[in-house]
A and B are shown apart, each in its own frame.
Chain A
Amino acid sequence: MNGIFSFRRLRALLVKESIQMRRDRLTFGMMIGIPLLQLMLFGFAINTDPKALPAALVAPTQDRFTRAMVTALELTGYYRFIAPDATAAEAEAMIARGDVAFAVTVPSDFGRRIERNDHATLLIEADATDPSVASGAISTLNTVAAAALSREAGLDHLQDASTAPSIIVHRRYNPEGITQYNIVPGLLGVILQLTMVMMTAMALTREIERGTMENLLSMPATPLEIMLGKVVPYLGIGAVQVAVVLVAAKVVFTIPFVGSLGLLLAGVFVFVFALVILGYLISTVARTQMQAMQLTFFFFLPSLLLSGFMFPFRGMPLWAQYLGEVLPLTHFLRLIRAIMLKGADWPTVAGSFVALGVFVVVLALLSLLRFRRTLD
């Protein structure tokens, strides 16, 4: 019994630990439920070779060659024409907003040139902010297009390589396909998400654990005052993080910054505000700091995987995209990539701003409803 190891002592420790584990229902549930949930969620949702990507078609003359081309592209499985008759301006706006991954432009003289056997050209613009999205779709292009057109025009017609129709591919916003261009701005969102939510998730649980909550509640502070008092200081910390990441993006990673800094900072502000309130909401639910921590990670993992940060958003099944839409990070990624890499202006990113604003309001209302004014 007095040696360095006793099975009785070990058993006492094991029994005590398993009782405590069982009593902490939330933790226990998360340990059992989360792996299963996440396995299903991410196993089906994540797709590194995204197919059926949304595309816009700009074809003033919708002739048989255009139709043949479109059908051939859709048959590859990579393209899904959600705007089959867009104007050039519409297509430009859609690609800037990220609504489509491709804009295919068939010039009005395309058909005539093929018939005359005179250097027909087709323009495909790809949103290359996420290089991995476009790569598969682009790599199949030339063979598909050539085959489709030769079928349509008659085999012999296009055999001369020098006069065959050519496909011009523009990798927009990131012509060299540099992964950092996509990842580094996104990292700002991910870093903010992790730190902001985690810090504010402790806000109320710390008061409860230290026993100061009873005192706080016995004094005349309103729930709104307490919430703002808890989250506003972290906006300052968020500002420091934003400055650090943006400077590093510019200096270390030489990420181009073509948009408006003011607009970006406004977007970051709304995003950080949504995050600190999300954290605060967690702290109204969690009873202990440990639970707050677990809930933070419970939100963090889907944000990482379903927001379009690690895997192409449009490549996920539709249900996963809907799930992604309810994560603030998804909207922030669209916003920051649009502004930094695409130089998007206010009308283009207004949708993302509105979405983030809705998060702020909804999360704040939920927090105020959840806040326990009494010790009940």
Chain B
Amino acid sequence: MTEPAISVHDLTKSFGDKTVVDHVSMDVARGEIMGFLGPNGSGKTTTIRLMCGLLEPDSGDGRVLGLDIRRDRRAIKRRVGYMTQKFSFYEDLSIEENLRFVAGLYGMADVRRVVADTLEDLGLTSRRRQLAGSLSGGWKQRLALAACIMHHPDLLILDEPTAGVDPKARREFWDEIHARATGGLTVLVSTHYMDEAERCHRIGYISYGRLVATGAVAEVVRDAGLTTLIITGADTAEAARQLRGAPGVDQVAPFGTTLHVVGRDAEALRRTVDEVARRTGTTAAPAETSLEDVFIQLMAESRDNMA
């Protein structure tokens, strides 16, 4: 069990002249919950599809559960549970019928019992005869999760599983994921939500097809080397106007009545903020840099690199 669940090197994939995944290398240890973050169109879904054998990489190689992502695609499919971003079960089939179809495709022997257990396990039993098309977002997500863990995969790959799902259902979903990871399941999950990223053991941040940061949340925040100050007072709007584009200031974001100001150069930021605070009659205090601040910074930096 020393070999990582996912180990890919220099994966590259282009569509036309657009490079969507650009030399991505990534390792995910067994039993780990890895969060995969990045803005829309950054290449998360494409990277995931490369790993599940749904797309063929232009270059680079990798192993998933010890299997080659180019040659052993069928074997990978049998041992990976993949939940697509868009709901992709049959809307004209009931929950139970969908699950029986999936169980059959994985060649399970006792389909009836496995499906009954899975329904029970995920609390779907009472709705098992309902057509998938008539389910709300949370229930659809639960069906999709049921379908991709039914065959007891060693690796679960979830592509934005909680998009359009209410906070309570999201919370339950993550409790479920953690329970399964404790049982030894490896999980790779892409998301936009910062609170979800913080529930992962480790995260990777992808931007414009490049993996620009990996590590535990605290490491990623620390490695970014950002300084954050919070400005409070009567005229934060005027302070914000003066701070934008000022030396040392990289981000200015209003949070309610306060202002978060972020910069890479602590010295320069401090000087500028003190000056503005004095002029506008506001006060500045140091604060923790949040993951979101880091991501916005990473996004801006990789855009600069692209240009």
Contact = CB atoms under 8 A, between A and B. Distances in A.
A binds B: yes
Interface of A: 210-215, 217-222, 373-376
B193 interface: no
B105 A376 contact: no
A219 B105 contact: yes
B237 interface: no
Interface string B30-65: 000000000000000000010011111000000000
Q: Determine the main DSSP class of B at the interface with A.
A: loop
A374 B52 CA distance: 10
Contacts of A219: 77, 102, 105-106
Contact of A220 (B77, B88, B91): B77
B84 A218 contact: yes
Nearest to B92: A210
Contacts of A218: 52-54, 77, 80, 82, 84
B55 A211 contact: no
Q: Determine the main DSSP class of A at the interface with B.
A: loop
Contacts of B192: none
Contacts of B73: 373
8 contacts: A214-B49, A215-B82, A218-B53, A218-B77, A218-B80, A375-B49, A375-B55, A376-B55
Contacts of B49: 214, 375
A80 B86 CA distance: 65
Nearest to B105: A219
A212 B101 CA distance: 13
A154 B295 CA distance: 110
Interface of B: 49, 52-56, 73-74, 77-78, 80, 82, 84, 86-91, 102, 105-107
Given A214-B84, A375-B49, 16 more contacts: A210-B88, A210-B90, A215-B89, A217-B54, A218-B77, A218-B80, A218-B82, A219-B77, A219-B105, A220-B107, A221-B105, A374-B54, A374-B55, A374-B56, A375-B55, A376-B56
A210 B84 contact: no
A215 B106 contact: no
B116 to A, nearest CB: 20
B54 A375 contact: yes
Contacts of B91: 210
A220 B89 contact: no
Nearest to A212: B88
B87 A211 contact: yes
Contact of A212 (B74, B78, B82, B90): B90
Pick from A213, A217, A219, A373 the residue with the most CB of B within 10 Å: A219
Contacts of B56: 374, 376
Nearest to A217: B54
Contacts of B86: 211, 214
Nearest to B133: A210
Contact of A374 (B53, B87, B102): B53
A208 to B, nearest CB: 11
A168 B87 CA distance: 74
Pick from A210, A212, A215, A375 the residue with the most CB of B within 10 Å: A215
Nearest to A213: B88
B90 A220 contact: no
A285 to B, nearest CB: 20
Given A220-B78, A220-B105, A221-B105, A215 B84 contact: yes
A213 B91 CA distance: 13
A219 B80 CA distance: 9
Nearest to B85: A214
Contacts of B89: 212, 215
Contacts of B107: 220
Contact of A214 (B74, B88, B102): B88
Nearest to B81: A218
B54 A211 contact: no
Contacts of A213: 88
B253 to A, nearest CB: 35
8 tightest A-B contacts by CB? A215-B88, A218-B82, A220-B77, A219-B105, A220-B78, A212-B88, A211-B86, A211-B88
A256 B74 CA distance: 54
B291 to A, nearest CB: 30
Pick from A211, A218, A375 the residue with the most CB of B within 10 Å: A218
Contacts of B74: 220, 222
B279 to A, nearest CB: 50
Contacts of B78: 220
Nearest to B86: A211
Contacts of A215: 82, 84, 88-89
A217 B74 CA distance: 10
A120 B214 CA distance: 103
A101 B45 CA distance: 64
A373 B106 CA distance: 17
A217 B87 CA distance: 14
Pick from A212, A217, A220, A222 the residue with the most CB of B within 10 Å: A220
Contacts of B106: 219-220
